[in-house]
Structure 1
Protein backbone atom coordinates (compact mmCIF):
# COMPACT_ATOMS: atom_id res chain seq x y z
CA UNK A 1 0.00 0.00 0.00
CA UNK A 2 2.81 2.42 0.87
CA UNK A 3 4.54 1.60 -2.42
CA UNK A 4 1.34 2.36 -4.32
CA UNK A 5 1.00 5.73 -2.59
CA UNK A 6 4.60 6.59 -3.43
CA UNK A 7 4.28 5.54 -7.06
CA UNK A 8 0.98 7.35 -7.62
CA UNK A 9 0.84 10.51 -5.49
CA UNK A 10 4.16 12.15 -6.37
CA UNK A 11 3.93 11.64 -10.16
CA UNK A 12 0.26 12.63 -10.23
CA UNK A 13 0.97 15.80 -8.23
CA UNK A 14 3.82 16.78 -10.55
CA UNK A 15 1.76 16.21 -13.70
CA UNK A 16 -1.19 18.07 -12.19
CA UNK A 17 1.10 20.99 -11.27
CA UNK A 18 2.43 21.20 -14.82
CA UNK A 19 -1.03 21.11 -16.38
CA UNK A 20 -2.37 23.61 -13.86
CA UNK A 21 0.48 25.99 -14.65
CA UNK A 22 -0.06 25.65 -18.41
CA UNK A 23 -3.80 26.19 -18.24
CA UNK A 24 -4.06 28.78 -15.45
CA UNK A 25 -0.51 30.09 -14.82
CA UNK A 26 -0.97 29.10 -11.18
CA UNK A 27 0.10 26.16 -9.07
CA UNK A 28 -2.35 25.77 -6.23
CA UNK A 29 -1.33 25.44 -2.60
CA UNK A 30 -3.17 22.13 -2.50
CA UNK A 31 -0.57 20.50 -4.72
CA UNK A 32 2.26 21.41 -2.38
CA UNK A 33 0.12 20.42 0.61
CA UNK A 34 -0.54 17.00 -0.94
CA UNK A 35 3.18 16.50 -1.56
CA UNK A 36 4.09 17.49 1.99
CA UNK A 37 1.27 15.51 3.60
CA UNK A 38 1.89 12.38 1.58
CA UNK A 39 5.61 12.50 2.39
CA UNK A 40 4.76 12.77 6.09
CA UNK A 41 2.48 9.75 5.74
CA UNK A 42 4.96 7.50 3.93
CA UNK A 43 8.21 8.60 5.60
CA UNK A 44 7.77 6.43 8.72
CA UNK A 45 7.35 3.34 6.55
CA UNK A 46 10.34 3.71 4.21
CA UNK A 47 13.02 3.24 6.83
CA UNK A 48 14.24 6.80 7.27
CA UNK A 49 16.11 7.41 10.50
CA UNK A 50 15.28 10.53 12.50
CA UNK A 51 18.45 12.13 11.15
CA UNK A 52 17.51 11.33 7.56
CA UNK A 53 13.96 12.57 8.17
CA UNK A 54 15.42 15.80 9.54
CA UNK A 55 17.67 16.17 6.51
CA UNK A 56 14.64 15.93 4.22
CA UNK A 57 13.08 18.80 6.15
CA UNK A 58 16.37 20.70 6.05
CA UNK A 59 16.36 20.35 2.24
CA UNK A 60 12.76 21.61 2.23
CA UNK A 61 13.66 24.57 4.45
CA UNK A 62 16.75 25.56 2.47
CA UNK A 63 14.99 25.35 -0.88
CA UNK A 64 11.99 27.24 0.50
CA UNK A 65 14.25 30.00 1.83
CA UNK A 66 16.06 30.39 -1.49
CA UNK A 67 12.88 30.25 -3.58
CA UNK A 68 11.10 32.64 -1.22
CA UNK A 69 13.93 35.13 -1.79
CA UNK A 70 13.52 34.63 -5.55
CA UNK A 71 9.78 35.16 -5.20
CA UNK A 72 10.35 38.32 -3.15
CA UNK A 73 12.52 39.75 -5.94
CA UNK A 74 9.94 38.86 -8.60
CA UNK A 75 12.20 36.26 -10.19
CA UNK A 76 10.00 33.26 -9.42
CA UNK A 77 6.30 32.68 -8.95
CA UNK A 78 4.96 31.72 -5.54
CA UNK A 79 3.48 28.43 -6.76
CA UNK A 80 6.79 27.50 -8.38
CA UNK A 81 8.63 28.27 -5.14
CA UNK A 82 6.31 26.10 -3.06
CA UNK A 83 6.36 23.26 -5.58
CA UNK A 84 10.15 23.31 -5.73
CA UNK A 85 10.41 23.19 -1.94
CA UNK A 86 7.80 20.46 -1.46
CA UNK A 87 9.52 18.38 -4.12
CA UNK A 88 12.85 18.90 -2.34
CA UNK A 89 11.20 17.37 0.74
CA UNK A 90 10.73 14.14 -1.19
CA UNK A 91 14.27 14.23 -2.59
CA UNK A 92 16.14 15.06 0.62
CA UNK A 93 19.74 16.23 0.61
CA UNK A 94 21.77 14.18 -1.83
CA UNK A 95 22.08 13.17 -5.44
CA UNK A 96 18.32 13.10 -6.05
CA UNK A 97 17.97 16.77 -5.07
CA UNK A 98 20.93 17.81 -7.20
CA UNK A 99 19.56 15.81 -10.13
CA UNK A 100 16.17 17.44 -9.65
CA UNK A 101 17.57 20.96 -9.58
CA UNK A 102 19.79 20.33 -12.61
CA UNK A 103 17.10 18.59 -14.65
CA UNK A 104 14.48 21.23 -13.82
CA UNK A 105 16.93 23.98 -14.78
CA UNK A 106 17.77 22.35 -18.11
CA UNK A 107 14.11 21.57 -18.84
CA UNK A 108 13.21 25.17 -17.93
CA UNK A 109 15.83 26.57 -20.27
CA UNK A 110 14.73 24.38 -23.16
CA UNK A 111 11.05 25.10 -22.52
CA UNK A 112 11.68 28.84 -22.24
CA UNK A 113 13.63 28.91 -25.51
CA UNK A 114 10.90 26.91 -27.19
CA UNK A 115 8.23 29.37 -26.00
CA UNK A 116 10.28 32.43 -27.00
CA UNK A 117 10.84 31.09 -30.52
CA UNK A 118 7.27 29.82 -30.80
CA UNK A 119 5.84 33.19 -29.76
CA UNK A 120 7.90 34.96 -32.42
CA UNK A 121 7.24 32.43 -35.18
CA UNK A 122 4.65 32.65 -37.93
CA UNK A 123 3.22 29.42 -36.57
CA UNK A 124 1.99 31.44 -33.59
CA UNK A 125 -0.45 33.24 -35.89
CA UNK A 126 -2.14 29.97 -36.85
CA UNK A 127 -1.83 28.42 -33.41
CA UNK A 128 -3.55 31.46 -31.95
CA UNK A 129 -6.88 30.10 -33.16
CA UNK A 130 -6.70 27.44 -30.43
CA UNK A 131 -7.68 29.03 -27.09
CA UNK A 132 -5.02 27.34 -24.92
CA UNK A 133 -2.30 28.14 -27.45
CA UNK A 134 -3.59 31.72 -27.77
CA UNK A 135 -3.09 32.23 -24.05
CA UNK A 136 0.40 30.71 -24.24
CA UNK A 137 1.25 33.09 -27.08
CA UNK A 138 -0.19 36.21 -25.43
CA UNK A 139 1.21 35.46 -21.96
CA UNK A 140 4.64 36.93 -21.27
CA UNK A 141 5.43 34.67 -18.31
CA UNK A 142 6.73 31.13 -18.54
CA UNK A 143 4.74 28.33 -16.85
CA UNK A 144 7.82 27.01 -15.08
CA UNK A 145 5.79 24.32 -13.35
CA UNK A 146 6.26 22.31 -16.55
CA UNK A 147 10.03 22.30 -16.07
CA UNK A 148 9.71 21.54 -12.36
CA UNK A 149 7.44 18.59 -13.16
CA UNK A 150 9.80 17.23 -15.81
CA UNK A 151 12.78 17.56 -13.48
CA UNK A 152 10.85 16.00 -10.60
CA UNK A 153 9.61 13.06 -12.63
CA UNK A 154 13.08 12.36 -14.04
CA UNK A 155 14.80 12.62 -10.64
CA UNK A 156 12.12 10.75 -8.68
CA UNK A 157 13.49 7.24 -9.37
CA UNK A 158 16.63 8.23 -7.41
CA UNK A 159 14.67 9.56 -4.42
CA UNK A 160 14.80 7.63 -1.13
CA UNK A 161 11.11 6.78 -1.37
CA UNK A 162 11.41 5.24 -4.82
CA UNK A 163 14.62 3.46 -3.85
CA UNK A 164 12.61 1.88 -1.03
CA UNK A 165 9.92 0.83 -3.55
CA UNK A 166 12.55 -0.67 -5.87
CA UNK A 167 14.04 -2.62 -2.96
CA UNK A 168 10.58 -4.03 -2.10
CA UNK A 169 9.92 -4.96 -5.71
CA UNK A 170 13.28 -6.74 -5.99
CA UNK A 171 12.68 -8.75 -2.80
Structure 2
Protein backbone atom coordinates (compact mmCIF):
# COMPACT_ATOMS: atom_id res chain seq x y z
CA UNK A 1 0.00 0.00 0.00
CA UNK A 2 2.77 2.43 0.93
CA UNK A 3 4.67 1.60 -2.24
CA UNK A 4 1.52 2.19 -4.29
CA UNK A 5 1.19 5.69 -2.83
CA UNK A 6 4.82 6.41 -3.66
CA UNK A 7 4.51 5.06 -7.21
CA UNK A 8 1.17 6.76 -7.96
CA UNK A 9 0.75 10.09 -6.15
CA UNK A 10 3.86 11.97 -7.25
CA UNK A 11 3.70 10.93 -10.94
CA UNK A 12 -0.05 11.57 -11.06
CA UNK A 13 0.40 15.06 -9.61
CA UNK A 14 3.18 15.88 -12.09
CA UNK A 15 1.05 14.76 -15.05
CA UNK A 16 -2.06 16.48 -13.73
CA UNK A 17 -0.18 19.76 -13.18
CA UNK A 18 1.31 19.67 -16.68
CA UNK A 19 -2.02 18.94 -18.36
CA UNK A 20 -3.93 21.38 -16.19
CA UNK A 21 -1.48 24.19 -16.94
CA UNK A 22 -1.62 23.38 -20.65
CA UNK A 23 -5.41 23.47 -20.74
CA UNK A 24 -6.29 26.18 -18.23
CA UNK A 25 -3.04 28.03 -17.45
CA UNK A 26 -3.53 27.15 -13.77
CA UNK A 27 -2.26 24.54 -11.35
CA UNK A 28 -4.84 23.88 -8.67
CA UNK A 29 -3.79 24.24 -5.03
CA UNK A 30 -5.05 20.72 -4.35
CA UNK A 31 -2.16 19.30 -6.39
CA UNK A 32 0.46 20.90 -4.17
CA UNK A 33 -1.55 20.08 -1.03
CA UNK A 34 -1.77 16.43 -2.08
CA UNK A 35 1.98 16.28 -2.67
CA UNK A 36 2.76 17.83 0.72
CA UNK A 37 0.24 15.74 2.66
CA UNK A 38 1.32 12.49 1.03
CA UNK A 39 5.00 13.17 1.66
CA UNK A 40 4.30 14.18 5.27
CA UNK A 41 2.62 10.83 5.94
CA UNK A 42 4.62 8.49 3.71
CA UNK A 43 8.22 9.58 4.35
CA UNK A 44 8.38 8.59 8.06
CA UNK A 45 6.59 5.33 7.28
CA UNK A 46 9.24 4.61 4.64
CA UNK A 47 11.98 4.87 7.24
CA UNK A 48 13.15 8.42 6.64
CA UNK A 49 14.86 9.67 9.80
CA UNK A 50 13.50 12.82 11.43
CA UNK A 51 16.53 14.96 10.64
CA UNK A 52 16.32 14.14 6.92
CA UNK A 53 12.56 14.65 7.06
CA UNK A 54 13.11 18.13 8.49
CA UNK A 55 15.68 18.96 5.83
CA UNK A 56 13.19 18.01 3.13
CA UNK A 57 10.75 20.55 4.58
CA UNK A 58 13.56 23.12 4.81
CA UNK A 59 14.33 22.60 1.11
CA UNK A 60 10.67 23.10 0.26
CA UNK A 61 10.49 26.29 2.33
CA UNK A 62 13.62 27.69 0.66
CA UNK A 63 12.20 26.99 -2.80
CA UNK A 64 8.87 28.49 -1.73
CA UNK A 65 10.56 31.70 -0.53
CA UNK A 66 12.52 32.06 -3.77
CA UNK A 67 9.58 31.25 -6.05
CA UNK A 68 7.15 33.49 -4.19
CA UNK A 69 9.65 36.32 -4.51
CA UNK A 70 9.65 35.64 -8.25
CA UNK A 71 5.84 35.53 -8.17
CA UNK A 72 5.69 38.88 -6.37
CA UNK A 73 7.99 40.35 -9.03
CA UNK A 74 5.75 39.00 -11.80
CA UNK A 75 8.28 36.47 -13.04
CA UNK A 76 6.32 33.33 -12.22
CA UNK A 77 2.81 32.13 -11.57
CA UNK A 78 1.58 31.34 -8.08
CA UNK A 79 0.63 27.77 -8.97
CA UNK A 80 4.08 27.20 -10.44
CA UNK A 81 5.69 28.55 -7.25
CA UNK A 82 3.67 26.24 -5.01
CA UNK A 83 4.23 23.29 -7.33
CA UNK A 84 8.00 23.77 -7.31
CA UNK A 85 8.05 23.91 -3.52
CA UNK A 86 5.87 20.81 -3.17
CA UNK A 87 8.10 18.96 -5.62
CA UNK A 88 11.23 20.09 -3.76
CA UNK A 89 9.75 18.56 -0.61
CA UNK A 90 9.97 15.11 -2.20
CA UNK A 91 13.61 15.71 -3.16
CA UNK A 92 15.07 17.52 -0.16
CA UNK A 93 18.51 19.09 -0.32
CA UNK A 94 19.93 16.57 -2.75
CA UNK A 95 21.47 16.18 -6.16
CA UNK A 96 17.96 15.32 -7.38
CA UNK A 97 16.72 18.78 -6.36
CA UNK A 98 19.56 20.40 -8.28
CA UNK A 99 18.76 18.21 -11.31
CA UNK A 100 15.08 19.12 -11.04
CA UNK A 101 15.82 22.85 -10.97
CA UNK A 102 18.26 22.64 -13.89
CA UNK A 103 15.90 20.47 -15.95
CA UNK A 104 12.99 22.81 -15.19
CA UNK A 105 15.03 25.81 -16.31
CA UNK A 106 16.22 24.12 -19.51
CA UNK A 107 12.88 22.59 -20.44
CA UNK A 108 11.07 25.80 -19.49
CA UNK A 109 13.46 27.81 -21.66
CA UNK A 110 12.93 25.49 -24.62
CA UNK A 111 9.18 25.57 -24.05
CA UNK A 112 9.22 29.38 -24.02
CA UNK A 113 11.36 29.55 -27.15
CA UNK A 114 9.14 27.18 -29.12
CA UNK A 115 6.01 28.83 -27.77
CA UNK A 116 7.19 32.21 -29.04
CA UNK A 117 8.03 30.68 -32.43
CA UNK A 118 4.61 29.03 -32.59
CA UNK A 119 2.73 32.18 -31.56
CA UNK A 120 4.49 34.14 -34.28
CA UNK A 121 3.76 31.58 -36.97
CA UNK A 122 0.90 31.15 -39.41
CA UNK A 123 0.35 27.72 -37.90
CA UNK A 124 -0.99 29.32 -34.71
CA UNK A 125 -3.85 30.91 -36.64
CA UNK A 126 -4.95 27.53 -38.01
CA UNK A 127 -4.43 25.39 -34.91
CA UNK A 128 -5.13 27.93 -32.18
CA UNK A 129 -8.74 26.81 -31.76
CA UNK A 130 -7.72 23.32 -30.72
CA UNK A 131 -8.44 22.61 -27.04
CA UNK A 132 -4.83 21.63 -26.37
CA UNK A 133 -3.26 24.48 -28.33
CA UNK A 134 -5.52 27.46 -27.63
CA UNK A 135 -3.37 28.78 -24.75
CA UNK A 136 -0.21 28.14 -26.72
CA UNK A 137 -1.49 30.23 -29.63
CA UNK A 138 -2.77 33.14 -27.52
CA UNK A 139 -0.03 35.75 -27.24
CA UNK A 140 -1.85 37.31 -24.25
CA UNK A 141 -1.25 34.15 -22.22
CA UNK A 142 1.91 33.43 -20.31
CA UNK A 143 3.98 30.29 -20.50
CA UNK A 144 2.38 27.14 -19.05
CA UNK A 145 5.49 26.37 -16.99
CA UNK A 146 3.70 23.50 -15.26
CA UNK A 147 4.58 21.45 -18.34
CA UNK A 148 8.30 21.95 -17.68
CA UNK A 149 7.84 21.32 -13.96
CA UNK A 150 5.94 18.10 -14.61
CA UNK A 151 8.45 16.74 -17.11
CA UNK A 152 11.36 17.70 -14.86
CA UNK A 153 9.77 16.15 -11.79
CA UNK A 154 9.03 12.90 -13.62
CA UNK A 155 12.58 12.79 -15.00
CA UNK A 156 14.23 13.06 -11.61
CA UNK A 157 11.70 11.23 -9.42
CA UNK A 158 13.01 7.67 -9.95
CA UNK A 159 16.29 8.68 -8.24
CA UNK A 160 14.67 10.14 -5.11
CA UNK A 161 14.82 8.52 -1.69
CA UNK A 162 11.15 7.49 -1.62
CA UNK A 163 11.11 6.04 -5.15
CA UNK A 164 14.30 4.09 -4.41
CA UNK A 165 12.92 2.88 -1.09
CA UNK A 166 9.71 1.71 -2.75
CA UNK A 167 11.63 -0.14 -5.46
CA UNK A 168 13.93 -1.83 -2.94
CA UNK A 169 11.05 -2.84 -0.69
CA UNK A 170 9.44 -4.74 -3.56
CA UNK A 171 12.48 -6.98 -4.01
Superposition TM-score, scaled by structure 1 size? 0.95
How far is the alpha carbon of 1:3 from its aligned partner?
0.7
Root mean square deviation, CA, Å: 1.1
- Provide the residue aligned with 1:142 in structure 2: 143
Structure 1 stretch 120-129 or stretch 82-91: which is displaced more?
A: 120-129
- Give every structure 1 segment of 4 or more consecutive aligned residues whose post-TM-superposition deviation is greater than 6 Å: none
Q: Deviations for 1:28-67, whole angstroms, at most 9, x for unmatched residues?
A: 1100000000101211122111110011001011000101
- Shift of the 24–129 alpha-carbon distance from structure 1 to 2, 3 Å rule, reads closer
- Provide the residue aligned with 1:120 in structure 2: 120
Q: Determine the C-alpha separation between the residues in 2 that align with 1:51 and 1:104.
A: 27
Helix, strand or coil at the partner of 1:31: helix
Q: Determine the C-alpha separation between the residues in 1 that align with 2:76 and 2:49.
A: 33
- Provide the residue aligned with 2:40 in structure 1: 40
Q: Deviations for 1:59-95, whole angstroms, at most 9, x for unmatched residues?
A: 0110001011111111110000000000000011111
Once the two structures are superposed, the pairs formed by residues 44-55 of structure 1 within 5 Å of their partners are 44-55=44-55
How far is the alpha carbon of 1:102 from its aligned partner?
0.9
Structure 2: runs of 5+ lacking an equivalent: none
Helix, strand or coil at the partner of 2:133: helix
Q: Determine the C-alpha separation between the residues in 1 that align with 2:151 and 2:7.
A: 16
